[in-house]
């Protein structure tokens, strides 16, 4: 726009127009945040996904039983976090495993507390996942169209139980050693596949040194990845199909809706 | 569910969903509250119970009775309940595997449109029964063979008729034995695991005391040797085992079961 030379002495402000205030810090900050999000959204289109996840409607009648799934997932995340801290100090060799656990318990800052969180977090997760499964069963929530999600859930239960079994051995104390030795023998006693499964778990014919590193790899590399991936698939399907309404809630016929459809 | 039922379900669900509340913030708030409770429980349990460890694993010494975590007790109990050795694998691996497959395939054989638990009598009864049986087995597994003591009462034949020194050794042996891990593989009365070792309830009918001592020192594999046990403890255990006969078992001291 063409700018006219200013009137000498300055023009008096026109009546009715407020003097332009300099932009405040708050305005600048929100402007920067919005433009950063805009930059991100332009490249990922994430706002649609976020809206799809966060602002989807949940059927009426949803009660406290519906919080068990989230709780199980958070217990798993707690296991991941405490597990990472334990892995910083743990040594999965038969000669040092027990000493490294003693080191965690006795010397490391909050070591025994984090170890305890991991141990009791496992118990909590097992209890929660079974409660969640019970809720799904008694509410009939495994039926059409959510059959596949039930199957994923049962696999998650199985993986959680294997996680608990493999983790139990890692402290390498008398309790864990003998309980796991007997547990593996139970698997190995199965007909047909048993001997192969036993050899695989023990990493050889004898329960011993190599078994520990095998259990460690299964416990902290294989299973967490599998469980994380399956949780993602589980959540995707939950959001796609929506959470069920409690079975005693009846859908009332909506007169407005019927009129608009007619 | 046939096609009409599927469509009806989806229609009804759409109505319920349309009348519901948005996930954020209503469900997030509820979930968040529950997650706080769960994290609180984990922190409290860790604070109160901690992460304890027992003695270092020693493959050569079986001085502990193997015990899994409590949520595996039901499998452990199946191992004890199913006695005949020929069908043990069937019970310990077969039953859980069959249950797992039934669970996995549940939505494929239970295809009715009904969802209300009270209008699905078969499913609800099966579910409740499964919970009761698993709970019962878990409870039995927790109770059974408490590794700290032998619930079989001492025998009146020994306590009243033998000389005081033998009685003292007998009672000491009865207290010491569970801490040696024998019950991991042997059964005395109702205590301990059924196998792989033979039942010891009436071992003295089959082996004299000297023979028992010989077996403890120089056992057949896979039983570990008790050669290195303190002589006094060794003598006590041998005395106890040496008085486990059928006749003694049938004459317990009154009220001695603890």
A4: distance to nearest CA of chain B, Å?
Answer: 53
Q: At what angle do helices A111-138 and A68-89 cross, to 10 degrees?
A: 150
Higher pLDDT, A82 or A193: A82
Taking only the tens place, the pLDDT of each residue in B183-213 is 777 878 777 766 667 788 888 888 888 888 8
H helices within chain A, ranges in order? 25-44, 46-54, 68-89, 97-106, 111-138, 147-169, 174-188, 194-202, 209-217, 223-241, 255-261
B46: distance to nearest CA of chain A, Å?
Answer: 4
* Residue whose C-alpha is closest to residue B92's, from B80, B105, B102, B104: B80
Q: Are A82 and A121 in contact (CB under 8 A)?
A: yes
Taking only the tens place, the pLDDT of each residue in A139-191 is 999 999 999 999 999 999 999 999 999 999 999 998 888 888 878 877 777 77
* Residue whose C-alpha is closest to residue B108's, from A144, A140, A135: A144
| Partners of residue B191 on adjacent β-strands | B188
Higher pLDDT, B83 or A107: A107
Which residues on chain B are in Cβ contact (under 8 Å) with A142? 106-107, 110
The average pLDDT across A101-113 equals: 94
Q: For B53, which of A59, A101, A183 is closest by C-beta distance?
A: A101
* Residue whose C-alpha is closest to residue A137's, from B127, B56, B193: B127
Q: State yes or no: cis peptide before B164, omega within 30 of 0.
A: no
A236: distance to nearest CA of chain B, Å?
Answer: 15
Return the DSSP state at B180. Answer: G
Positive/negative CA dihedral, A172, A178, A183, A186: positive
Q: For A179, which of B19, B34, B68 is closest by C-beta distance?
A: B68
CATH topology of domain B61-144: Helix Hairpins (1.10.287)
Residue A65 touches partner B, C-beta closer than 8 Å = no
Return the DSSP state at B17. Answer: H
Q: At what angle do helices A97-106 and A111-138 cross, to 10 degrees?
A: 100
pLDDT at B85 over 90: no
Domains in chain B: boundaries: 1-52, 61-144, 156-249
| Partners of residue A57 on adjacent β-strands | B22
Domain B61-144 matches domain B156-249 at the CATH topology level: no
Give every CB contact of residue A249 below 8 A, 6+ residues apart in sequence.
A59, A60, A61, B16
Q: For A138, which of B38, B108, B117 is closest by C-beta distance?
A: B117
> A164 — phi, psi (to 5°)?
-65, -40
Which residues on chain B are in Cβ contact (under 8 Å) with A141? 115
pLDDT in the model for residue A171: 94
Verdict on whether the full-model pTM lies above 0.90: no
* Residue whose C-alpha is closest to residue A180's, from A164, A156, A193: A164
Find how far residue B177's CA is from the centre of its chain.
Answer: 19
Residue A17 binned pLDDT confidence (cut-offs 50, 70, 90) = low
Torsion of CA B73, B79, B80, B83, to 10 degrees: 160
Residue A100 touches partner B, C-beta closer than 8 Å = no
Mutation target to probe the A interface, by most A beta carbons within 10 A, among B22, B33, B38, B108 is B38
Q: Is the Cβ pair B21, A58 closer than 8 Å?
A: yes
B71: distance to nearest CA of chain A, Å?
Answer: 8
pLDDT in the model for residue B145: 53
Residue A190 touches partner B, C-beta closer than 8 Å = yes
B203: distance to nearest CA of chain A, Å?
Answer: 25
Domain B156-249 has CATH 3.40.50.720: no
Domains annotated for chain A, with CATH where assigned, are 63-241 (1.20.810.10)
Q: Are B159 and B99 in contact (CB under 8 A)?
A: no
Q: State yes or no: cis peptide before B25, omega within 30 of 0.
A: yes
Q: Is the Cβ pair B15, A178 closer than 8 Å?
A: no
Q: Is the Cβ pair B20, A60 closer than 8 Å?
A: yes
Give every CB contact of residue A254 below 8 A, 6+ residues apart in sequence.
B15, B18, B19
Higher pLDDT, B228 or A75: A75
* Residue whose C-alpha is closest to residue A91's, from A76, A102, A78: A102
Q: For B16, which of A56, A144, A251 is closest by C-beta distance?
A: A251
A86: distance to nearest CA of chain B, Å?
Answer: 12
pLDDT in the model for residue A261: 57
The average pLDDT across A244-248 equals: 91
Residue A227 binned pLDDT confidence (cut-offs 50, 70, 90) = very high
Give the nearest chain B residue to A247 (CA atoms): B116
* Residue whose C-alpha is closest to residue B159's, from B232, B256, B66: B256
The residue whose two tokens read 């020693």 is B58
Positive/negative CA dihedral, A216, A217, A221, A226: negative
Spatial distance between the Cα atoms of A93 and A2, rounded to a whole number of angstroms:
80
Mutation target to probe the B interface, by most B beta carbons within 10 A, among A178, A206, A215 is A178
Give every CB contact of residue B107 below 8 A, 6+ residues apart in sequence.
A142, A143, A144, A146, A147, A150, A151
Task: Tell me the DSSP string of B50-106.
Answer: -----SBP-TT---S-----GGGHHHHHHHHH---GGGHHIIIIIHHHHHHHHHHTH
Which residues on chain A are in Cβ contact (under 8 Å) with B62? 178
CA atoms within 13 A of residue A39's CA, in its CB half-sphere: 6
Residue A59 touches partner B, C-beta closer than 8 Å = yes
Burial B101-139 (b: 16+ CB within 10 A, else e): eebbebbeebeeebbebeebeebbeeeeeeeeebeebbe
Residue B182 binned pLDDT confidence (cut-offs 50, 70, 90) = confident
Residue A110 touches partner B, C-beta closer than 8 Å = no
């Amino acid at each position: 726009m063409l700018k006219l030379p200013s009137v000498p002495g300055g023009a008096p402000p026109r009546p009715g127009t407020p003097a332009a205030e300099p932009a405040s810090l708050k305005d600048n900050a929100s402007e920067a945040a919005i433009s950063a999000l805009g930059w991100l959204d332009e490249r990922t289109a994430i706002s649609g996904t976020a809206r799809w996840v966060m602002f989807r409607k949940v059927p009426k009648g949803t009660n406290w039983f519906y919080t068990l799934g989230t709780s199980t997932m958070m217990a798993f995340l707690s296991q991941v976090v405490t597990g990472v801290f334990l892995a910083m100090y743990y040594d999965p060799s038969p000669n040092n495993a027990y000493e490294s656990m003693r080191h965690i318990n006795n010397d490391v800052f909050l070591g025994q507390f984090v170890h305890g969180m991991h141990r009791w977090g496992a118990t909590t997760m097992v209890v929660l996942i079974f409660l969640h499964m019970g809720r799904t069963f008694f509410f009939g929530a495994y039926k059409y169209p959510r059959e596949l999600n039930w199957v994923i859930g049962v696999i998650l239960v199985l993986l959680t139980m294997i996680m608990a079994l493999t983790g139990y051995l890692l402290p390498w104390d008398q309790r864990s050693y003998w309980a796991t030795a007997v547990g593996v023998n139970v698997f190995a006693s199965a007909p047909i596949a048993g001997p192969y499964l036993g050899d695989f778990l023990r990493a050889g014919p004898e329960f011993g040194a190599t078994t520990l590193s095998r259990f460690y790899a299964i416990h902290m590399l294989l299973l967490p990845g599998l469980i994380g991936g399956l949780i993602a698939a589980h959540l995707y399907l939950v959001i796609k199909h929506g959470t069920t309404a409690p079975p005693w809630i009846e859908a009332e016929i909506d007169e407005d809706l019927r009129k608009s459809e007619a | 569910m046939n096609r009409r039922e599927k469509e009806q379900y989806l229609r009804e669900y759409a109505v319920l969903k349309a009348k519901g509340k948005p996930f954020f913030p209503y469900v997030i708030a509820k979930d968040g509250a529950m997650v706080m409770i769960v994290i609180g429980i984990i922190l409290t349990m860790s604070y109160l119970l901690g992460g304890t460890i027992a003695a270092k694993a020693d493959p050569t010494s079986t001085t502990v009775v193997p015990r899994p975590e409590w949520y595996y007790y039901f499998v452990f109990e199946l191992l004890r309940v199913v006695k005949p050795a020929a069908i043990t694998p069937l019970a310990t691996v077969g039953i859980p595997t069959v249950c797992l497959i039934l669970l996995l395939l549940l939505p494929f054989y239970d295809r009715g449109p009904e969802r209300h638990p009270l209008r699905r009598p078969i499913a609800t009864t099966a579910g409740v029964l499964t919970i009761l049986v698993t709970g019962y087995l878990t409870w039995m597994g927790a109770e059974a063979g408490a590794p700290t003591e032998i619930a079989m009462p001492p025998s009146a034949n020994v306590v009243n008729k033998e000389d005081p020194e033998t009685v003292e050794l007998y009672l000491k042996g009865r207290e010491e034995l569970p801490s040696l891990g024998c019950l991991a593989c042997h059964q005395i009365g109702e205590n301990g695991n059924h196998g792989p070792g033979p039942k010891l309830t009436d071992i003295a009918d089959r082996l004299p005391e000297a023979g028992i001592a010989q077996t403890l020192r120089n056992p057949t594999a896979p039983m570990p040797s008790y050669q290195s046990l303190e002589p006094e403890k060794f003598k006590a255990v041998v005395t106890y085992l040496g008085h486990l006969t059928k006749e003694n078992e049938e004459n317990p001291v009154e009220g001695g079961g603890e």
